[in-house]
Amino acid sequence: MTSGHLGAPGSQGSDDIRFQFLHAQVSSVTSHLHLADAKAAGVIAFISVVSGYTATKISLVSPSSYGVAQWLGLIGGATGLAALAMAFLAVLPRGWPGRDPKDPFSWVGLSGAAATTPYPDRLSALTVREMQRALADHVETCSLIIRRKYRLVAASILLSLTAAALQASSWIWS
- Whether 56 contacts 170, CB under 8 Å: no
Helix axes 12-57, 68-91, angle to 10 degrees: 160
Tell me the residue type at 73: G
Decide: 69 and 170 in contact? Cβ < 8 Å.
yes
User: Considering only CA atoms, which of 70, 81, 73, 67 is closest in space to residue 54?
Assistant: 73
CB 168 within 8 Å of CB 48 = no
Classify burial at 104, counting beta carbons within 10 Å of its beta carbon; exposed 0-12, middle 13-18, buried 19 or more. Answer: buried
In a structure prediction context, what are the per-residue pLDDT tens digits for the chain, which is 174 residues long? 444 555 555 566 677 888 898 889 989 999 999 999 999 999 999 999 999 999 888 876 677 778 888 899 999 999 999 999 999 999 987 766 566 666 677 667 777 777 677 878 877 888 888 888 888 888 888 888 899 999 999 999 999 999 999 999 998 987
The pTM of the full predicted model, rounded to 2 decimals, is 0.79
